[in-house]
């Protein structure tokens, strides 16, 4: 009898820990953000020496390209510094509340702008010094944008694990959320990544089979200005989204328009860079 009881206990324990009755494993967005913050800051700091070289080098007849490369690098510096501070703020959160995944997605816009701006600046430098390398660096910019879109959509994957912990409150709260369960979260994340990749692939195909726009003063100022605006908007909205629910208020989880607007904004900016790079 004792042996049978022990086997029954082990069987129940195995079922409980095998994942048969509940989902195991969860990505903690706070720890991820805290780990990303110094990486993001360091990546942007690498652009400073390049800006110095551009300002101290003579490039006769290449003023527009030098302006574009310098502007993109400055955008990357600002986006990285402000984005890393925003990520560090999320890493300092004590509780894994439902507002943190959308906050990360807003901040991810600034980080994607930083990444593709640096890569695009390298393409412009290639156009100045090694024109035959332009297709290679344009492709690298596209790959960087795709990676950024994927990691932005990744925040949706485990967003279901955040929110109220009390079982009764959580059941009522989940019914009002965009993400209903873990399976739904992963499906939405994959769909978001696919949709966000479309503008980038379209821009690459246009560049290959039709051509690209020649940069001029107007397009240069527009690309740099839009990059700054997206980075600042992403950081501002991300920090604002970390605001905690007040007493007797429901936590504000991720909304569909937040997920799609952040991912598509990053994707469209990457596509614009691909089309306007020299």
Give the pLDDT confidence of 112-123 residue by residue, as tens digits: 999 999 999 888
Q: d(Cα 64, Cα 135) in Å, to the nearest integer?
A: 19
Q: What is the pLDDT of residue 21?
A: 46
Q: What is the pLDDT along the chain (278 residues), one digit of tens a residue?
A: 544 544 444 444 444 444 444 556 566 666 666 666 666 766 666 666 666 666 656 666 678 888 888 889 889 988 888 888 888 888 877 777 888 888 989 999 999 999 999 999 888 888 888 778 888 888 899 999 999 999 888 888 877 777 787 788 888 888 888 888 888 889 999 999 999 999 999 999 999 999 888 888 888 999 999 999 999 999 999 988 888 777 777 778 889 899 999 999 999 999 999 999 98
Q: What is the pLDDT of residue 144?
A: 92
Q: What is the pLDDT of residue 195?
A: 94
Q: What is the pLDDT of residue 59?
A: 67
Q: What is the pLDDT of residue 191?
A: 94
Q: d(Cα 119, Cα 44) in Å, to the nearest integer?
A: 11
Q: What is the pLDDT of residue 268?
A: 95
Among residues 74, 78, 29, 88, which one has the least CA distance to residue 239? 88
Judge whether 181 and 160 are in contact, CB under 8 Å: yes
- Cα dihedral 158→160→164→169 (10° resolution): -160
Q: What is the pLDDT of residue 51?
A: 67
Q: d(Cα 144, Cα 151) in Å, to the nearest integer?
A: 11
**Residues of the chain by 3-state class (helix, strand, coil), percent to 5:** 75, 0, 25
Q: What is the pLDDT of residue 15?
A: 40
Q: d(Cα 166, Cα 61) in Å, to the nearest integer?
A: 66
Judge whether 90 and 243 are in contact, CB under 8 Å: no
DSSP assignment of 210-223 equals T--PPP-HHHHHHH
């Amino acid at each position: 009898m004792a042996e049978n009881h022990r086997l029954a206990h082990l069987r129940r324990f195995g079922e409980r820990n095998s994942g048969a009755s509940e989902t195991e494993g969860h990505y903690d967005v706070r720890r991820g953000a805290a780990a990303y913050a110094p990486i993001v800051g360091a990546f942007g700091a690498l652009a400073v020496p390049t800006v110095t070289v551009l300002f101290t080098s003579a490039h006769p007849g290449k003023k527009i390209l030098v302006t574009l490369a310098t502007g993109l690098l400055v955008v990357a510096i600002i986006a990285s510094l402000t984005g890393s501070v925003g990520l560090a703020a999320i890493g300092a959160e004590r509780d894994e509340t439902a507002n943190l995944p959308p906050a990360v997605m807003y901040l991810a816009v600034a980080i994607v702008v930083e990444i593709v701006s640096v890569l695009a600046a390298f393409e412009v430098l290639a156009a100045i010094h090694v024109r035959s390398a332009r297709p290679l660096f344009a492709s690298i910019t596209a790959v960087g944008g795709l990676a950024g879109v994927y990691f932005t959509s990744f925040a949706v994957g485990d967003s279901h694990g955040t929110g109220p912990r009390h079982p009764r409150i959580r059941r009522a709260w989940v019914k009002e959320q965009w993400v209903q369960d873990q399976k739904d979260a992963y499906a939405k994340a994959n769909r978001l990544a696919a949709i966000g990749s479309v503008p980038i692939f379209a821009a690459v195909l246009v560049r290959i089979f039709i051509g690209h726009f020649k940069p001029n003063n107007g397009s240069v100022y527009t690309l740099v200005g839009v990059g700054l605006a997206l980075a600042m908007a992403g950081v501002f909205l991300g920090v604002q989204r970390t605001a905690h629910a007040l007493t007797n208020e429901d936590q504000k989880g991720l909304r569909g328009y937040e997920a799609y607007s952040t991912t598509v904004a990053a994707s469209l900016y990457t596509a614009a860079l691909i089309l306007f790079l020299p």
